[in-house]
Amino acid sequence: MESTPNEFLQFWQMLMPIGAISCVGIAIIIYLIHQIRVSGIKDYKAKYDYLSVSEIKAYKIAIVFIAIAFGLVVNMYGRDMIIFDVVWFSVLIFISIAGATLVGYIGALILQYYYPTQLNKKLKKWRYMPRVNPKTGNVMRLLSEDEEDVHLDEGMRAEEDVFSVDYDVWIDEQTGDTKIEKYKGHLQALQCNNCGFYTMKIVREEIIQEPTPEKEGELLKHYKCQYCSSVRTTQFNIAKEEDYSHFKPDKNSFKKNATVEVVKVEIISSLGFKKSYEFQNVEQAEKFLNEFDIDKTK
């Protein structure tokens, strides 16, 4: 039997609410599965790792389904239409797609800019939640940066010194048992091909070919492992020159990064003071930090 456009329309209109409800249902299921998985992980460090890798991913997928549901709801606006009109139908499809894209886009923005702060609070909670020694049931104590060094081997200390890895050492003070946990540091360092630690640090950058408006430049980065001292050199292209002359500092004092343009220092006090300052080079920033007095800030 041939189906007429009007029959198709009826079928289409029937499909919309079913599709919308299904999509919202799938989004809720994704959210719940994520929450159940998180609460099923008993080890705090494992929970931390799982949250940092999976939470935003799970929410992103859920938002895609919410966005599709929104598009389908918008499409229901045409449900009083009885006779198939191809123009009206196309306009409706277009508006639905635009609406879904908008919802998806807003969701993506929230996850990218607002949500990471919330996630960080959650991660901090699990990172600093007192550990319990499984052997004795004693509550362990987190060692300070100064205290923890004796419990780390030389390679781990080298990684901490270049800020590529941050180790937390928990100690059971009654038995001396320790638990060492590995976290991402503030800076990225490459893994050394020789010793395997994340201790490859840039020691020097040199521009061997200045970029011009017509041609890309060339930059050499010299790395040295801070643990085993093996060296590596990698070549990079520099984008064609744009006109930065209005901003470039006279003298660039970054030996290691010839392309750094601004040094930003953020100062946070326990009383809620929070302010950031920008400088053109390290000397200026250092001088400022030596002079800094919180009572004299403007």
C-alpha to C-alpha distance for 92 and 190, rounded to whole angstroms: 51
Question: Which of 100, 204, 199, 123 shows the shortest CA–CA distance to 158?
Answer: 199
- Identify the three-state secondary structure at position 152: coil
65 vs 197, beta carbon nearer Zn ion: 197
Dihedral through CA 222, CA 228, CA 230, CA 232, nearest 10? -40
82 vs 231, beta carbon nearer Zn ion: 231
Tell the smallest beta-carbon distance from residue 192 to Zn ion (Å): 3
Tell the smallest beta-carbon distance from residue 219 to Zn ion (Å): 23
Tell the smallest beta-carbon distance from residue 222 to Zn ion (Å): 15
Tell the smallest beta-carbon distance from residue 164 to Zn ion (Å): 12
50 vs 163, beta carbon nearer Zn ion: 163
Cβ proximity of 107 and 67 under 8 Å: yes
Contacting residues toward Zn ion, per CB under 5 A: 192, 194-195, 225, 227-228
Tell the smallest beta-carbon distance from residue 224 to Zn ion (Å): 9
Cβ proximity of 261 and 248 under 8 Å: yes
- Beta bridge partners, 168, equal 181
- Beta bridge partners, 178, equal 171
45 vs 201, beta carbon nearer Zn ion: 201
126 vs 198, beta carbon nearer Zn ion: 198
108 vs 228, beta carbon nearer Zn ion: 228
107 vs 155, beta carbon nearer Zn ion: 155
Tell the smallest beta-carbon distance from residue 204 to Zn ion (Å): 17
C-alpha to C-alpha distance for 192 and 230, rounded to whole angstroms: 8
Tell the smallest beta-carbon distance from residue 155 to Zn ion (Å): 8
Beta pairing class for 141-142 and 165-171: antiparallel
Taking CA atoms, 164 is separated from 82, 116, 125, 160, in Å, by: 64, 20, 22, 6
Taking CA atoms, 273 is separated from 6, 50, 268, 296, in Å, by: 66, 33, 6, 12
